[in-house]
Structure 1
Amino acid sequence: MKNKFEILKNVKLFEMVEENLEAMLQCLGSEEKKYAKGEIVILTGNPVSSVGILLSGGLQIIQEDFMGNRSILTELKPEHIFGETFACAGVTESPVTVIATADSTVLFIGVQRIINTCPSSCLFHNQLIENLLKIIARKNMLLSGKNQLLSQRTIRDKVLSYLSLQAEKKGNPQFEIPFTRNELADFLCVDRSALSRVLSILKTEGVIAYNKKQFKLL
């Protein structure tokens, strides 16, 4: 298993930062927290003032409407960053909940410690700010792709668009998705039973093959 600093070297926020990571984290006032599976990391309605970096485990970002209908916005893996958009925007009430899907460790850094130079005038701050802007811009592009996926008219079109994107991302027609059936239904904002019917039809038609989370485009 990778240690914390091996993971952080691959985190986009620290890209091109030529600095001792341990000293930099101390300057930034970082805080490490552990969460058990099913525990809430960020709760809807709470303020967000820190950037979170997942060091181990897994997280889901979910959103619920007034009626309690749940939608999974994204799945987070180690090295992924979350909360930066809300923290930078000064959001006083988070519109989403972040929940641990496995025992997880998260490193938090106050966004003000990133974007404001410290009394020591550490040289890495400018690079961190540039990296943070790039991360936010990339996530806006991904959000645009998610909106395009959800704009598909039928469940069949949503499923095929999602699976095609996964195959393209992996560079292979055979791949594993990060979701269970219930989670995939929440991610695509469709009914669980209707999703199962569509998957079964696509399998019968010879369009796809699947076993649990393993899929193959035929």
Structure 2
Amino acid sequence: MDFDFLLQTRLFHGLTALELSAALAGLQASEKVYAKGARIFSAGEATNRFALVLSGSVTVESNDFWGNRTILGNIDRGQVFAETFALLPEEPLLVDVNANEDCHLLFITVDVLLLEEDGERPSWMRKLSSNLLSISLHKNLMLSRRSFHTAPRSIRARVMSYLNTLCLQTGSDTFTIPFDRQQLADYLNL
């Protein structure tokens, strides 16, 4: 496992190599590889673990009874997904998560974070909890942006809203969109 890469992720930010090693053991971290198109999590199932993308990317999407797909987001290398549902294990997932390309994932079990303990918690646990809160806040912003993109009535306004946000985020008028044409249409609810 590439500790240098893990220490650079938002999830493990601020941890030392020793703390990371203790965290991976305490969180029962395990790696798994998925082929493009493989289902990682299904709507309706409950989970006590979330995943960090080590390579590749995954798509978070909602599929309704009639087969309509809405892409809620693309999760790239170094990002996490399903953390909210892992921390609320009684809540079933509302979305499907699929491998957008061949991907390598690190699954993390959060049971130890939910235990109420008397006494001092290890430093890695405090840092990880703080990092998970930061990640949740950033995802809240991402969902707010998505609602800005889907609120306009016209297709042109939705696409322009999305492109404007990418322009502001990258600080450039040249950038790469993480979706193909159909995925972008699904993301913008077109």
TM-score (norm 1): 0.80
- Residue 177 to residue 137, structure 1, CA distance change in 2 (3 Å): same
Counting only pairs closer than 5 Å after superposition, residues 155-194 of structure 1 correspond to structure 2 as 155-190=155-190
The equivalent residue for 1:9 is 7
**CA contact under 8 A between 2:27 and 2:110: conserved in structure 1?**
no
Aligned residue for 2:8, secondary structure, equals coil
Cα-to-partner distance string for 1:180-213 (whole Å, 9 max, x where unaligned)? 11111111110xxxxxxxxxxxxxxxxxxxxxxx
Q: Which residue of 2 aligns with 1:138?
A: 138
How many residue pairs match? The answer is 188
8 Å contact kept, 1:115–1:125: no
Structure 2: 5+ residue runs without aligned partners? none
Alignment-derived partner of residue 193 in structure 1: none
CA distance in 1, matches of 2:7, 2:176: 26
Letter in 2 for 1:156: R
Map of 2:68 onto structure 1: 69
In 2, Cα distance between the equivalents of 1:69 and 1:133? 32
Taking structure 2 as the reference length, the TM-score comes to 0.91
**Contact kept? 1:115, 1:129, Cα under 8 Å:** no
Q: Is the contact between residue 4 and residue 55 of structure 1 (CA under 8 Å) also seen in structure 2?
A: no
RMSD over equivalenced CA pairs, Å = 2.0
Identity %: 34
Unaligned runs of at least 5 residues, structure 1? 191-218
Corresponding residue number in structure 1 for 2:53: 54
Q: Is the 8 A contact 1:149 1:162 kept in 2?
A: yes
Contact map agreement 2:33 2:102 (CA 8 A) in 1: yes
Partner of 1:198: none
Partner of 1:213: none
Larger of the two Rg values belongs to structure: 1
> Matched residues in 2 for 1:120 and 1:7: separation?
28
| Residue 19 of structure 2 is aligned to residue 26 of structure 1 | no
Q: CA deviation at 1:117?
A: 7.3
